[in-house]
Amino acid sequence: MLTRDFLRNADCKTAFGSIDESMLLTPEQRAASLSCTLARRPDNSPVWIFGYGSLMWNPVFDSEEARPATLHGYHRAFCLRLTSGRGTHAQPGRMLALRDGGKTTGLAFRLPEDKLLDELELLWKREMLTGCYRPTWCELDLDDGRKVTALVFIMDPSHPQYEADTDYQVIAPLIAQASGPLGTNAQYLFALEKELNNYGMRDDCMSELVKQVRLLLSVSPGFDVPGLS
């Protein structure tokens, strides 16, 4: 399972599996990306992070508040070819990202201002290994009626690992078969299903995909897979 210590000490070239070095961001490039993102911070209000996948159940960073939230203008899609972490080059899976259109429900986390840079550096090492996401400041609707500005990791469609075809008939076999140093691709899918159910959230991209992966693996609904990260 991903932990703070794992991320702090991880060698990005090896800890997540074999990553094509031509796509791997250097520490200097990650730092530049973070600096550029912070330079676009719209105001001095608290920094929130929007979690819509594994950040929901294992954020790793410290936060002072977490609330259910809705992001408008983007939807979940398993559109990122997964060749490390929970997949390999030989048996790639699919990772979750956000694409234009629709809306997404997830969790918003408010970061402590006095530890902001430390927490964001940890997050960048986790999410921006290859620069596949565009960190974007977006408005969220919290469940208590507040509107906040949050950092959201949105798929970069120009990235070489972007996959346009997310039909469940295409990606279910990939998710069912893929695994890597962090576990199986199916574990990730089932953990997301469980977390959405815990919060009473529904996502149309999930139901048929989960059903097909369970059929392929002969796993019954409610089966709890260990080792989630």
| Residue 213, amino acid | V
Q: Given pLDDT bands bounded at 50, 70 and 90, which one contains residue 201?
A: very high
pLDDT at 162 over 70: yes
Domain-wise residue ranges, the chain = 4-218
Determine the pLDDT at residue 17.
81
> Across the chain, where does the E strand assignment appear?
48-51, 65-82, 93-110, 133-142, 147-155, 179-180, 183-184
Fold of 4-218: Hypothetical upf0131 protein ytfp (3.10.490)
pTM score, whole prediction: 0.93
- Helix, strand or coil, per DSSP, at residue 16: coil
Determine the pLDDT at residue 226.
46
The residue annotated as part of the active site, out of 28, 119, 121, 127, is: 127
Active site residue 127: yes
